Amino acid sequence: MITGEPDDRETITSGSAGGRAEKDLPRQTPRRAADPTAWIMQARRHARDYERLPQHSEALITWAAITLMTRRLTRPNRTGRSADTSK
């Protein structure tokens, strides 16, 4: 049986044969919805919502994604190997 306690921990009251009867386990918190899209805020334009139409905001987010991917694809290789893979 799992019971929630006010300190955000779950208590498991059914024990195994060789284990303790009660164990306190930290509760897994779900990732916030903003974490996977936090890169959008690196573009200064997206710090505030200035756009009146959703299509304009969508276009600017697409533009920011293209800029980010272009930077990632063109940055120097950090492993010390050359980028030429035709060998």
- Over the stretch 47-78, which tens digit does the pLDDT of each residue have? 777 778 889 888 888 988 898 889 889 988 77
Which pLDDT score, from 0 to 100, does residue 82 have? 58
Which pLDDT score, from 0 to 100, does residue 74 have? 92
Distance of alpha carbon 14 from alpha carbon 2, whole angstroms: 8
pTM above 0.75, yes or no: no
Helix or strand or coil: residue 35?
Answer: helix
Residue 44 has pLDDT above 60, yes or no: yes
Q: 3-state SS of 37-87?
A: HHHHHHCHHHHCCCCCCHHHHHHHHHHHHHHHHHHHHHCCCCCCCCCCCCC
Instruction: Report the DSSP beta bridge partners of residue 24.
Output: 11
Using the structure block, give the residue that is written with the tokens 């290789």: 77
**Which comes out higher in pLDDT, residue 48 or 17?**
48
- Over the stretch 26-43, which tens digit does the pLDDT of each residue have? 565 665 555 666 777 777
Residue 10: pLDDT band (50, 70, 90) is: low
Distance of alpha carbon 20 from alpha carbon 16, whole angstroms: 7
